[in-house]
Chains A and B, each alone.
Chain A
Amino acid sequence: MDWLTPALFGVVLGVVTGLVPGIHVNTLCALALAFAPTSPGMALVLAAAACAHLTTSLLPSTYLGVPGEEALLSALPSHRLSLRGRGPDAVRLGVQGSLVGLLAGVVLLLPHKWLVAEPGRFLAAVEAGTPWILALLLVALPLREALRGVRQFGAALLLGVLAGTLGLLSPRLSLEAWIDVPATALLPLLTGLFGAPALLESLHATQPLPEQAATRDGLRLHRAATMFGIASAAVTCLLPGVTSSAALALARWREDRHGRAYLSGQSAIAGAHLVFSFGLLWVALRPRTGLAVATASLWPAPAWTAGAPPASALPLLAACLAGGILGALATLGLDRLAAQWLPRVARPASVAALVGMTSLVAILAGWVGLALYVAATLVGLLPTRFGVGRLHLTSCLLVPVLAWRLGLGV
């Protein structure tokens, strides 16, 4: 089939949405499931868009929402670099890491299948131990903050409880979209916890950015962090409710001056996780990401137990690679313009994105969804106030999955 045309369309879509702050790949998937026709072509569009979005979204995340000096310690490494005038280095590192992660995921997909299914049967072992793994994560994340202080530990606990409660309550809500499409609680929940707060915080006063310039030799990928990122993506993609960032955060890479390890690992995880989650979908029919859920609906495939992969595999992987490579080129080409213009249009862009996001939640999840979105946004604003990472908000997924696995009837 013609995979190139939908893939190119997806690249354009991914590049455009990647430049819009607050838009996540899952938002694209929710829109596609709600409005787009069910077809393999749409699955290819989403795959390419997701991979292009991986790199292009580095631009707003590097040059927008940069906090002031008082929040420097909790700022993202990319923001710390842009405050030093080296935002392009952060972008370049992210692009390199994402591409390496994507390529590694494609190359290692078959060995990953052997590990996960027959003969390794690693998935069965992971599923048997999932409650323990999730419980360990829920304990480890706040304990990690305890190393920074009691206040941070308390904040992490509080965030875990609040987000976990939201996660437990959201499936029990009766959501009715304003149009005739299925409503889902995940859209208001995740958009409220992660998307809207980032946009609201970007509206605050920020330190003016100095002139941005890449260093002559640039930052090179941190090899160990990149390999760890790829390996952890291969494992975390098997766990329901666990984001790949959790693994990276727990790794506690030595905080080098430039955040090179963090940036390398995070971007490699993102790229590899995307491909490995496709692999899990094909091998075990377990969609673990928004993109995998959308693909399962748009282009269903039988389980890949032996022999050739499903018919959808090769076109989707090709679309991923096309999206990743073309998205990377677009990102590097737009870097200079983004460094110059994004901070100038930060406020109107953030306001527009916020209005659009809120409208989308209302249309696709109704009034009850809006209430969930508001509650999630208020919780999502707390990490920055306490100076801890947003990672603790992932308990909105971990807690319900753990409760379900323990048979607690939620």
Chain B
Amino acid sequence: MLDTGWPVRPPETHLAPWSGMVRTHHLVGLAVAALAVVAQLAQGQPPLVELRDAALWEGQEVAVEGVVRDLRRDAAGPSRFDLVANGAALATRIDGASVQDGDPVRVTGRLGRQGGALTLFAERLSATTTDEAVHNVPLSALAQRPEDWLDRAVRVEGVVERGWLRTDGHAVQLGDGAWPSSGTVDAAATLRYHAPCACYRLDRVQAWTG
């Protein structure tokens, strides 16, 4: 090995001004107090984050709202589904939850990785009522840019006519749910893509009047 044997001159030293000011038991007290502060901070509820921002919270406990899609149940294992909202999707797994495809839910859990994919390992799941996630949307917006409202709960107003909801020259096809056969409606629904007809439909009306 290389021999670096070279004598070097020692530097001068200076006394630190705070040297010896903090006694050990004071330091222990400070550490315990700081720990108590951290414990208090840890008691807070997990933040409610936007699904599209989930990757920024990887490794942390969060709450996310969205709609259940592609629900798969294992016989003796967790349920898996995609939590979908605002054009983004998040793989989710939870043990023993009773949800159905299309349910709007708030899921609380820790964000991690499974098979390289960002996954929400859910600890708690609660249903959100449609009203909580409803957006008042003119029918023209749904008809002209349905991809912006896909899988989102919306509140729409119009006239039901032969399986379509119409107003101001725009129309959106009606899907599943308790739609009246005719008349004016003011309803909450979810816009979904229906593969058989390759079209967008409004599903699951919460309430209607008219």
Contact = CB atoms under 8 A, between A and B. Distances in A.
Binding between chains A and B? yes
A230 to B, nearest CB: 19
B30 A378 contact: yes
A158 B57 CA distance: 32
B198 interface: no
Interface in B92-107: none
B60 interface: yes
Given A169-B42, A182-B57, A381 B27 contact: yes
A208 interface: yes
A372 B57 contact: no
B57 A208 contact: no
B74 to A, nearest CB: 20
B7 A174 contact: no
A332 B4 contact: yes
Contact of A371 (B5, B7, B38): B38
Interface stretch (B12-20, B80-88, B158-166, B182-190): B12-20
Contact of B12 (A173, A208, A300): A208
16 contacts: A88-B5, A92-B4, A169-B39, A174-B44, A174-B47, A174-B60, A182-B56, A205-B13, A205-B16, A211-B8, A212-B7, A212-B8, A333-B2, A378-B34, A381-B27, A385-B24
Interface size class of A (residues with CB under 8 A): 35 or more
Contact of A205 (B15, B35, B39, B47): B15
A375 B35 contact: yes
B21 to A, nearest CB: 11
A375 B7 contact: no
Contact of A382 (B12, B19, B28): B28
A210 interface: yes
Nearest to A88: B4
Nearest to B30: A378
Given A182-B55, A203-B16, A379-B31, A172 B42 contact: yes
Interface centre among A162, A174, A213, A218 (most CB of B within 10 A): A174
Nearest to B61: A172
A139 B113 CA distance: 32
Interface string A197-222: 00000011111111111111010000
Contacts of A162: 31-32, 35
A96 B1 contact: yes
B210 interface: no
A207 B10 CA distance: 10
Interface of B: 1-16, 19, 24, 27-28, 30-32, 34-35, 37-39, 41-42, 44, 46-47, 55-62, 110, 116
Given A214-B5, A332-B2, A382 B31 contact: yes
A347 B7 CA distance: 23
Nearest to A201: B16
Interface in A169-191: 169-177, 180-185
A372 B27 contact: no
A166 B39 CA distance: 8
Given A173-B41, A181-B56, A183-B60, A209 B11 contact: yes
A145 interface: no
A222 to B, nearest CB: 15
A378 B39 CA distance: 15
B60 A206 contact: no
Contacts of B37: 371, 375
A214 B8 CA distance: 11
A360 B27 CA distance: 25
A401 B179 CA distance: 53
B49 to A, nearest CB: 9
Contacts of B32: 162
A212 B4 CA distance: 10
A65 interface: no
Given A171-B110, A205-B15, A382-B24, 20 more contacts: A91-B4, A166-B38, A173-B38, A173-B42, A181-B56, A182-B58, A182-B59, A183-B57, A204-B19, A205-B14, A205-B19, A212-B6, A216-B3, A336-B6, A340-B8, A343-B10, A374-B34, A375-B37, A378-B30, A386-B24
A313 B129 CA distance: 50
